[in-house]
Amino acid sequence: MMFLATLALQAPAAPQAGSPMGSLIWMFLLIGIFWAILILPQRNQQKRRNDMINALKKGDKVITIGGIHGEITNIDGDDLWLRVADKVEIKMVKTAVSRVKGD
């Protein structure tokens, strides 16, 4: 019985502190994985979108982010005119184009 009381009263041993260099390596490894999984694909997607918007030209058939289908009739800087029906054109910004339809 005295043995159990002695074990209960003994303080647990302090945990060994790891190397600070090892902790830094793990932190940088996790940051690298985070970068590769989340940030890098988002950058690639944004680059493809910017390339698509910069390549828009008169006559392209597009779909806007609002789901409107039409054909580009004129481009002026950041704006474009989209023909959505006979004699019906709407003016919008280029960034409102979601994708170019393949014919």
Kindly list the structural domains of the chain, giving each domain's residue range(s) and its CATH number in brackets, ordered by start: 21-100 (2.30.30)
Q: Which two tokens stand for residue 91?
A: 């003016």
Which residues neighbour 90 within 8 Å (Cβ) at sequence distance 6 or greater? 68, 70, 81, 82, 84
Q: Residue 20 has what pLDDT? A: 79
User: Which candidate, 71, 39, 44, 45, places its Cα nearest to that of 56?
Assistant: 71
DSSP lists the bridge partners of residue 70 as 62
Q: How confident is the model at residue 70 (pLDDT cuts 50, 70, 90)?
A: very high
pLDDT tens readout for residues 1-28: 555 556 555 656 556 666 778 888 999 9
One-letter amino acid for residue 22 of the chain: G
